[in-house]
Amino acid sequence: MTTSTRTVSGDAGTGSGPVVVTGLGVAAPNGLGVEEYWRAALAGRSGIAPITRFDPAGYSVRIAGQLDIEPKKHLPGRLLPQTDHMTRLALIAAEEALADAGADPKEMPAHAAGVVTAASGGGFEFGQRELEALWSKGGNHVSAYQSFAWFYPVNTGQVSIRHDMRGPGSALVAEQAGGLDAISKACRNVRAGTALMLAGGVDGSLCPWSLVCMTKSGRLSNATDPDRAYLPFDAAASGHVPGEGGALLVLEARAAARERGARILGEIAGYASTFDPRPGSGREPGLRRAVELALADARITAADVDVVFADAAGVPDLDRIEAATLAAVFGPRGVPVTAPKSLTGRLLGGGASLDVASALLGLRDGVIPPTAAAVHCAYADEIDLVTGAPREARLGTALIVARGYGGFNSALVVRR
């Protein structure tokens, strides 16, 4: 092997120009598949409901954005014993995204396609089943699939195998912020010469064990009315609800996408990631810097942004910080802000990727999907929150903001 010539997937940084999105796959509590989700988002149809996968009566949190599927309808039977619910959703979204892009990695040169996903707790329901087997019956009852079905990069591995994607593979964890970090990392792979990257997050493995873990974040809503459980930016905000799903994006260099005649949904134009200082340090939170650095990375100013997809934590202190940040960067009510995640719950590693998908669909259709109708914005002097009904607008550029529990801030800019 000579080293002077670069391989198809050479990682040396060939500077291939802008990276664009050519395909989307979505799995959301209010819609499986891109168009079903998008119809629900525009109609303000919520996927948030009482938990039915198990009896939540004994828990402080009883509401979630649960996404149930009939796995046999979507996946080969051989994959079922070895996959967590979360991985099944990821496999469904991956298939849709590649089909949407009109791309088949099996037909591409070896190593020309890769995968980066965002994760949080991994395949937790699968993990709970095996922990139960271990503790109640003994170690020899633990599944041979446990060695990977629970682990964080399982979606990357399973998707790469199913579609023969032998290029770069990775998985990132930064709770909600990871969904943007994964897209940025995949953009780097495309810039470095990998022809196609599948990137984003599909997450959320709802089971008693994951729910108990998540309640300890102190950020989940104890409300029992699904319509009142997750009210970001509302005076009555009392936390969020957990949800399942996310989105995967097909990324390619714009020149290559044009050459093969692919439909281009938009460009990933800028990104930045920052971290909050230790609480009590007196230093400013990192969110504003993430937003400003992402705009700078896209070489645009705040005035160029047509819509912001907010992190929308649903926790009063965090909502206040975000509203103040957006007002400081864009001016009071300077840009429409929305939070379609108020209809899905927060999807851990999947939520921010779904927001990127929503932003791209919004650019495509010239419409801003609304925040849940029940939300009455308590920061109306600072942000222009789109609630209740979609708002038609000429959209050229969107900013997506994501914060991960523990201090992670990421921001990403997409444009037509």
Residues in 279-308 at the binding interface with other proteins, rule: CB under 8 A: 283, 286, 289, 293, 296-299
**Least gap, CB of 306 to other proteins (angstroms):** 18
Question: Per CB under 8 A, which of residues 216..255 are in contact with other proteins?
Answer: 216-217
Instruction: Give Cα 182 distance to the centre of its chain.
Output: 9
Binding mask 331-370 for other proteins (x = CB under 8 A): ----------------------------------------
Instruction: Give least dist CB 348 to other proteins, A.
Output: 9
Minimum distance of other proteins from residue 7's CB (angstroms): 6
Half-sphere exposure of 378 (CA within 13 A, CB side): 17
Q: Does 260 bind other proteins (CB under 8 A)?
A: no
Residue 34, CA atoms < 13 Å, CB-side half-sphere:
24
Find the shortest distance in angstroms from Cβ 107 to other proteins: 14
In this structure, what DSSP letter does residue 278 have?
P
CA distance 20 to 251: 6
* Residue in the block written with tokens 């939520």: 351
The residues, ordered by sequence, that sit 6+ positions from 152 with a Cβ below 8 Å of its Cβ are: 119, 122, 171, 173
Residue 317 contacts other proteins per CB under 8 A: no
> Considering only residues 46-85, where is the footprint of other proteins by CB under 8 A?
54-55, 58-60, 76-82
> Closest Cα partner for 219 from 29, 406, 28?
406
Residue 275 binding other proteins, by CB under 8 A: yes
Q: How far is the CB of 281 from other proteins (least distance, A)?
A: 8
Q: Mask 172-211, x = binds other proteins (CB under 8 A)?
A: xxxx-xx--x--xx-xx--x----------------xxx-
Give the burial string for 177-216 (b: 16+ CB within 10 Å, else e): bbbbbbbbbbbbbbbbbbbbbbbbbbbbbbbbbbbeebbe
By rule CB under 8 A, what count of residues binds other proteins?
Answer: 121
The CA angle 272-331-416, to the nearest 5 degrees, is 50
* 395-414 residues near other proteins, rule: CB under 8 A: 404-408
Stretch 111-170 residues interacting with other proteins (CB under 8 A)? 111, 114-115, 119-122, 124, 127-128, 130-148, 151-154, 156-158, 160-161, 163-170
> Six-digit token pair at 371?
């925040």
